[in-house]
Amino acid sequence: MEMHATTILCVKRGNQLAMAGDGQVSAGQTILKGNAVKVRKLLDGKILTGFAGATADAFTLLEKLEEKLQAYGGNLTRAAVELAKDWRMDKMLRRLEAMLIAADKDKIFLLTGNGDVIEPEEGVVAIGSGGNYALSSARALLKHTSLSAAEICKESLKIAAEICVYTNTSITLETLGE
């Protein structure tokens, strides 16, 4: 499922985790808003989340994720799996059109309505229409520079914005760790 109108990137390097998202909201070929916030912290700042897709659907899923996190004592792995099960099996949640990235200091997960809970191997994952551009850039920067996770996120989002018409340079950046 490819979501248009956004780019979200999460990078882990050493003890730092960073997540960045652009601010563009589009309807077809029209930009509706340029400074939307699609990356936020949950659970008193211990969890970073970002979303691509229908905003109301994503907010519903973020609320459900936060409920699961509270129910399972902040265990992101368990909360992510339980959310994915509900998302796939619940008649109403099944219709929600969004993708999420959720991360804590140890783990990063990509969550979809297909029941996917994917942990990337290289500590980097991206979603949205500009996701592949940001992902490629981030992987190269991880291999060939000593930039921090936050710097990689910023630079990769800027590169994605130069290529993807659904991505802009109004970047929201959140970090965990050093």
Determine the average pLDDT of the residues in 5-19: 94
Q: For the segment 37-77, what is each residue's pLDDT rounded down to a tens digit?
A: 999 999 999 999 999 887 878 888 899 999 999 999 999 99
* Marked catalytic residue, from 6, 112, 167, 172: 6
Amino acid at 140: A
Q: Helix or strand or coil: residue 115?
A: coil
Pick the CATH number of 7-176 from 3.40.50.300, 3.40.50.1370, 3.40.50.2300, 3.60.20.10: 3.60.20.10
Distance CA 178, CA 93 (A): 36
Distance CA 33, CA 10 (A): 23
Q: For the segment 97-133, what is each residue's pLDDT rounded down to a tens digit?
A: 788 999 999 999 999 888 899 999 889 999 999 999 9
Is 145 a catalytic site residue?
Answer: no
Give me the sheet containing 117-118, strands edge to edge. Answer: 39-42, 47-53, 98-103, 108-111, 117-118
Percentage of residues of the chain with pLDDT beyond 70 = 96
